């Protein structure tokens, strides 16, 4: 086993352990962080003219947004807030597709800024020992699903 393979294996095991041990709130934060990292990677890859890996990074960001964040929304319990978040996630995915097609760093920056704002808002409602009414309302919007036991390309799984 070479060093690169060992490092990747260690990172996968560490991430899987983090996902398994995380509460639902933290899992959503991990999804935001994963999407932000994928977008930052894509931006760097555009600047270095690494087209193939740029496409893979943008695809990963779209998958995290669509299959993680958007899929976690409970539109029945969340009402208008969940509907608006769903529409915003659709918009972000479209902007990322455009960024991929046109090597548009501005579109990547826009989606990154939107995700960072949502991540910050999600961090601000972090439940303490007893969640407030506002935290309970926010938690009702997102209904986490137990993460899969197997490792998938989308390492963060569905939450």
Is 37 a member of any domain?
yes
Mean pLDDT of the chain: 78
**8 in a structural domain:** yes
Q: Is residue 155 part of a domain?
A: no
Cβ–Cβ contacts within 10 Å for residue 124, how many? 10
* 149 found inside a domain: no
Give residues with Cβ within 8 angstroms of 28, minimum separation 6. 69, 72, 122, 142, 144, 159
Q: Determine, yes or no, domain membership for 31.
A: yes
pTM of the complete model: 0.69
Domain interval for residue 81: 3-141
Q: What is the pLDDT of residue 75?
A: 87
Percent of the chain with pLDDT over 90: 57
Residue that wins the pLDDT comparison between 49 and 1: 49
Is residue 156 domain-resident? Answer: no
The answer to whether 77 and 143 are in contact (CB under 8 A) is yes
For residue 75, the domain's CATH number is 1.20.120.340
User: What's the structural domain count of the chain?
Assistant: 1
Handedness of CA 120, 95, 24, 14 (dihedral sign): negative
Position 153 in a domain: no
Residue 133 lies in a domain: yes
């Amino acid at each position: 086993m070479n060093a690169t393979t060992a490092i990747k294996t260690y990172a996968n095991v560490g991430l899987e352990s983090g996902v398994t041990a995380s509460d639902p709130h933290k899992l959503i934060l991990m999804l935001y962080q994963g999407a932000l990292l994928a977008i930052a990677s894509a931006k760097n890859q555009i600047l270095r003219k690494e087209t193939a890996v740029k496409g893979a990074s943008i695809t990963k960001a779209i998958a995290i947004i669509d299959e993680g964040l958007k899929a976690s929304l409970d539109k029945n319990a969340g009402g208008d807030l969940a509907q608006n978040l769903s529409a915003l996630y659709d918009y972000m995915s479209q902007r990322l597709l455009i960024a991929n097609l046109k090597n548009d760093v501005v579109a990547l920056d826009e989606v990154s800024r939107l995700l960072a704002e949502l991540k910050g808002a999600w961090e601000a409602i972090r439940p303490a020992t007893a969640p407030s009414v506002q935290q309970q309302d926010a938690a009702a919007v997102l209904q986490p699903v137990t993460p899969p036991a197997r490792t998938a390309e989308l390492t963060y799984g569905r939450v």
